[in-house]
Each structure stands twice: as structure tokens, then as C-alpha cells.
Amino acid sequence: MSNPWIAECRNVLAIGRNYVKHIEELNNEIPEVPVVFGKSVSSLTDASALMFPRGLAPIHFELEVVLRIGVDIEPGTFRGLDQVSHAGLGIDFTARERQSQLKAKGLPWQLAKSFQHAAYLGPLWEQPDLTENIAFQLFQNEALRQHGETRLMMFDFVTLLGFINRTLPLRAGDLVYTGTPAGVGPVAEGDRLRLTCSQLDTDCRLTVGFFDTEST
């Protein structure tokens, strides 16, 4: 992995249900507070050729703005976006059927969010202006699938980080995936994905593949 921020990351936190239209497309309830979950650090990748366990399909893409924490923040001491050092785009990949099965049983769905290449991380840019609206897109085989704007988040960056930090310490290098807009969908063998964002100077091109395992 060539991405230096992956090696420095100790925790990957993610936000669910932060865009109303995405909540509606999955028929979920609108939350009163941020929905926070974790992804394993071993799921992180910056590989342009993504490889997923075939037995977990369907695997859905979820494009997100990712924040990198720049300093150690003890619980209850988050003060503002100056404590965020970098931002970029990432994809929270989800084994959707497994997630639905686990949720139906009232069980944690960590294993639907943590598997090889389940947390794609694109280039991160230093000291981004997070106070302005950030527009970002995902294309699948040249077709636009997701268009997000951070002004449409239910919980903005400050609210998200403050909420997390009420309970958890945030450490320098931690990554926070801040939620996905509507348009999520499954990937297939040979798919080409493209992530773009002019404000974050991002244009990443990825391919999708699958491998067989006995354990999935």
C-alpha cells in the first residue's frame, strides 16, 4: 500500500444514515442522533484493483467524504475542524445481504462492513476547507450513480466529531467516513468505478474483482 495514512490509522469510524434520500432508499428510520459504527483497519486499502470475497455478494458501494484526525483528542475535548488534518474520498463497501440478515436477528453487523478491501481510501488533502459545500460523485462503468453534497448531510462534520468524542477519544490518524448519499448499489466482476471531487482535487479510477474462499 502506497498510502501513508493507512499505516498510521488506528481506528476507522463510519457514519450511517446521514443523507435523507439514502435513508429513504433503504427504508430505514431517520435517526435522532448520528449512527456510528466501526470498520476494521485491516479493511483499508488504496488499491486501484479491488478484490472482494465472492461469497459476500452482493457488495454495495457507498461513496463518502473521509476525514483524518490530526491530533489526539481526549473524550469531550473536541473543539473544531482545525483538529482535522486532511480530507478526501473513500468508499464504504457493504455486504448488503449479510448486513440485512444480521440486522434482522438483532446482531452486530461488523462482518458485513469489514472484509478485504471493504474500506477504500483515496488520496487525502491537507487542511481542506470543510466549511464550504463539497460536491462529490461516483461513476460505475461511466454511468453516474451517486452525487453527494455535504450541505445535505443531516449531521455536519462538527456535529459528527463532537458526538463521537463525547464517548471516544479520537487519535491522530483516525479516519472518519461521514456518510453516503443516495444511489448505492452492487458491484460486479469487471466493474469500473470512478470517484471525483473538484474541491478535493480527486479523480480516482478503480476496478472490481472477486476471489473464492471456503470461509464465506
On whether the CB atoms of residues 182 and 25 are closer than 8 A, the answer is yes
pLDDT of the residue at 2: 60
- pLDDT above 70 (res 137): yes
Nearest CA to 193 among 13, 59, 98? 59
Domain count for the chain: 1
Place of cell 449512527: 35
**Strand 185-186 and strand 175-177: pairing?**
unpaired
Tell me phi and psi for residue 26, to 5 degrees.
-100, 5
Q: Could you give the CA distance from residue 106 to residue 104 in angstroms, rounded to a whole number?
A: 6
On whether the CB atoms of residues 133 and 149 are closer than 8 A, the answer is yes
- Give the single-character DSSP code of 25: H
- Give the gyration radius of the chain's Cα atoms: 16
Q: Where is 202: in which H helix or E strand?
A: strand 202-211
pLDDT of the residue at 214: 73
pLDDT of the residue at 3: 74
Domain that holds residue 149: 4-211
Establish if 117 belongs to a structural domain: yes
Mean pLDDT score, 58-85? 98
The percentage of residues in the chain with a pLDDT greater than 90, rounded to a whole number, is 90
Establish if 216 belongs to a structural domain: no
Where residue 9 sits, what CATH number does that domain have? 3.90.850.10
Least confident span in 22-31, 107-116, 142-151, 204-213: 22-31
* pLDDT per residue as tens digits for the range 146-170: 999 999 999 999 999 999 999 999 9
pTM of the model: 0.95
On whether the CB atoms of residues 102 and 73 are closer than 8 A, the answer is no
Establish if 45 belongs to a structural domain: yes
Mean pLDDT score, 98-120? 96
What would the grid cell of residue 120 be? 477504500
**Strand 202-211 and strand 192-197: pairing?**
antiparallel
Q: Could you give the CA distance from residue 8 to residue 143 in angstroms, rounded to a whole number?
A: 34
Mean pLDDT score, 70-99? 98
pLDDT of the residue at 23: 76
pLDDT of the residue at 213: 86
- pLDDT above 70 (res 109): yes
Establish if 106 belongs to a structural domain: yes
pLDDT of the residue at 1: 45
CA 18 to chain centre: 12
DSSP helix/strand/coil, 158: helix
CA 98 to chain centre: 18
* pLDDT per residue as tens digits for the range 16-64: 999 988 878 878 888 999 999 999 999 999 999 999 999 999 999 999 9
* DSSP codes joined into one string, 77-115: ----GGGEEEEEEEEE-EEHHHHHHHHHTT---GGGT-S
Establish if 107 belongs to a structural domain: yes
pLDDT of the residue at 11: 98
Establish if 196 belongs to a structural domain: yes
Establish if 182 belongs to a structural domain: yes
pLDDT of the residue at 215: 58
pLDDT of the residue at 44: 98
Establish if 157 belongs to a structural domain: yes
What value does the mean pLDDT of the chain take?
95
